[in-house]
Amino acid sequence: MTKIDALRRFFLPCLFPTTTASDATQTTPLKKRLSTSLRDDLDEPSTTTNTNQDDQNQNQDQDQESNSPEDSVTSRPSKSMVIGTIFGQRRGHVWFCVQHQRQSTKPSLLLELSIPTHQLVQEMRCGLVRIALECARPELCSCPLRSVPVWIMYCNGRKVGFAIRRKASGQNRLMLKTMESMTVGAGVIPAGFGPSGSEAEEVMYMRANYEHVIGSADSESFHLINPDEYPGQEFSVFLLRSR
């Protein structure tokens, strides 16, 4: 009996192998790894397609926002840079000249201001000068803003007289011709300026770059741009028309 039992114990495992714990642990991870790999293979295309769709939707939204009619309807102020020159005789009044090009002797805007030169110099010593030119005449509402012939002038909130739009005379053109090589600077033109010496007094001037802002058909402004090496001087000219 002992020999038969020994043979059974030897042959039965060979004929009918039993699964051991080690085999089970080896086979089960294979199934798990296979399932996870298949799940990853199936999930990756969906995520990529979703991300692509999201990117396309974002691009479409951005295009719609950029091409939306609200942007075209809302008016934004336009800005540009011009050359502005303030000049005047010591015992005379002030002129304000605007040029788009330095070499041009025909200014795009020339205003004769009623404020005396010495008074403007005193205002500029404070570091802040704001000149507001207002047009309140209803018959001039339809004409271009720069074509208004007469303005009511305010300097730092105080009414100081009027401003008149002028055409450049030969003397004005000659003065601009002498300063065509200058973009920024201030100084004095000596007395007797001109071929015939018609100028009896020396002319003080300040020439600089200005930021030209067009807010609407009834508002424009010019703001002095200070160079980095010079102290700050705030000087602005506003053209306003009330309807």
List the structure tokens of 240: 């306003």
Please report the DSSP string for 7-32 in residue order: HHHHHHHHHSPPPPHHHHHHHHHHHH
CA distances from 70 to 57, 101, 123, 241 (A): 20, 35, 43, 27
pTM of the model: 0.65
Query: Is residue 121 within 8 Å of 90, Cβ to Cβ?
Result: no
Q: At 74, phi and psi to the nearest 5?
A: -70, 125
Ranges under pLDDT 50 in the chain: 7, 10-11, 14-49, 64-74, 195-197
Q: What 3-state class would DSSP assign to 115?
A: strand
Q: What 3-state class would DSSP assign to 232?
A: coil
Q: How many contiguous H segments (helices) and E segments (strands) does the chain have?
A: 5, 10
- pLDDT, residue 219, reads 94
Could you say which DSSP state residue 241 is in? Answer: E
- pLDDT, residue 2, reads 55
Question: Under 8 Å CB-to-CB from 117, ≥6 apart: which residues?
Answer: 88, 89, 90, 91, 92, 93, 94, 204
Question: Under 8 Å CB-to-CB from 234, ≥6 apart: which residues?
Answer: 127, 128, 129, 130, 224
For 176-192, write each residue's pLDDT tens digit: 888 888 888 888 888 76
- pLDDT, residue 212, reads 96
